[in-house]
Amino acid sequence: MRTCAARVQKTAPILALILVITFVFDARRAGAQLSATDWEKAAGGKMSFEVASIKPSAPDERTGTNVGLDSGNDYEPSGGLFRATHFDTASYISFAYKLTQAQRMALQHEGPKWIHDDRFDLEARAPATATKDQLRLMMQSLLADRFKLAIHMEKREIPMFGLALVKEGKLGPHLRHYADDPPCSLSSGLRGNQHPEDLVGGLPPVCDAWIGTLMPDGHASFGARNVTMQKIADGLPTLPNAELDRPVVDQTGLAGTFDFWLELSGNVFGPLQGRAPAAAQTDDTAPSFVEIIRDQLGLKLVPTTGQVDTPVIDHIEKPTPN
């Protein structure tokens, strides 16, 4: 996936993926940072790692992390150790500020080129009881201290896709209201040992995380439990070869949380490139992305525009290794 961190674990013969995913500001105020959001206040406000090391990655190093660098809340406590290898700075910024997929896509056009191209390894120590949101706050401090990051938000009108019901009041066969039966949790012990047989009825036992399997023949299954419709919308552009060139926003009007799963096959996704979704058909023998979400989830993509709180980088520097 392009903007969300993926934690990859090889199995035989299956590759398991854990997909891990407001205010007015005067941009002329050098060094100013974002005002605290509700989640930041709830997490306790400004805090820092006990110790942290950041250094450039080796060219052949493999990307990986023990904490998902997405906007989800799933988190397997690691005793306070935070380790990430071969990630670009934009991914660390996205994690630190809990950016939505729309904001992550906007961030692709921000800052100097190196924040998207250069890769860095991070190893840091936090209190063993630190939550995922508290780790985000610590990452904010690290970015401000080591990268001299100054960032703010601006409301901007951008192209997007609205996610809507194909038929009012009717869900697709692979989309259902979350009923806690069987229950799921934010910490499932899946890290590093997930197999297809661990999935319950095609759904992962962990909450608030996209988890999937890729088969050698190109077929794949992705699912999530106890997620909002906006979280589903956020994740669609991150699917393999989805090629959505716009963020997706929830326009279903559906409240509460949901379980869902998608069954995909091969390289069947054609780029929408701002056209009506119906134009995205690249293989006459396989369903398009539009057909997959229509038939399985009962949802459709509608081209539209909307305002997004867009991250704007005012200043950033390459860190000195330590």
Residue 35 clears pLDDT 60, i.e. is over it: no
Question: Residues 195-204: pLDDT tens digits?
Answer: 444 444 556 6
Residue 14 clears pLDDT 80, i.e. is over it: no
89 close to 53: Cβ distance less than 8 angstroms: no
**CA angle at 183 for the pair 202 and 199, rounded to the nearest 5°:** 20
Length of the chain counted residue by residue: 322
Average pLDDT estimate for 178-199: 57
Q: Which sequence spans correspond to the domains of the chain?
A: 23-153, 158-307
Within 10 A of 216 (CB to CB), how many other CB atoms are there? 9
Contacts of 63 (CB under 8 A, 6+ apart): 5, 6, 8, 85, 86, 87, 119
Residue 228 clears pLDDT 60, i.e. is over it: yes
**Short-list 194, 230, 227, CA closest to 213:** 194
pLDDT of residue 187: 59
Q: Note if the pTM is more than 0.95.
A: no
Residue 286: pLDDT band by 50, 70, 90 thresholds? low
Average pLDDT estimate for 98-102: 87
Specify the range with the lowest mean pLDDT, choosing from 31-45, 96-110, 134-148, 273-287: 273-287
pLDDT of residue 85: 95
**Short-list 47, 139, 142, CA closest to 95:** 139
Residue type, 251: Q
**Short-list 271, 217, 212, 282, CA closest to 245:** 271
Q: What is the SS3 string spanning 172-231?
A: CCCEEECCCCCCCECCCCCCCCCCHHHCECCECCEECCEEEEECCCCEEEEEEEEECHHH
pLDDT of residue 214: 66
> Which secondary structure element, helix H or strand E, spans residue 234, and what is its range?
helix 229-235
Average pLDDT estimate for 48-76: 88
Question: Residues 126-171: pLDDT tens digits?
Answer: 999 999 999 999 999 999 999 999 999 999 898 999 999 999 999 9
Question: Residues 243-259: pLDDT tens digits?
Answer: 788 889 999 999 999 99
In Å, how far are 39, 99, 145 from 33, measured between CA atoms?
Answer: 16, 15, 12
Specify the range with the lowest mean pLDDT, choosing from 116-125, 145-154, 176-185, 267-276: 267-276
pLDDT of residue 18: 36
What residues pair up with 53 in beta bridges, in sequence order?
Answer: 123
Residue 274 clears pLDDT 60, i.e. is over it: no
**Which is higher by pLDDT, 60 or 272?**
60
Average pLDDT estimate for 92-109: 90
239 close to 222: Cβ distance less than 8 angstroms: yes
Helical pair 132-146 and 89-96, crossing angle rounded to 10 deg? 130
Residue 7 clears pLDDT 80, i.e. is over it: no
DSSP assignment of 51-111, as one string?
Answer: EEEEEEPPTTPPPEESS--SS-------TTEEEEEEEEHHHHHHHHTT--HHHHHHHTTSS
Within 10 A of 263 (CB to CB), how many other CB atoms are there? 15
Residue 31 clears pLDDT 60, i.e. is over it: no
Specify the range with the lowest mean pLDDT, choosing from 61-75, 180-194, 204-218, 259-273: 180-194
**Which is higher by pLDDT, 8 or 290?**
290
Cα–Cα distance for residue pair 233/253, rounded to 1 Å: 13
154 close to 78: Cβ distance less than 8 angstroms: no
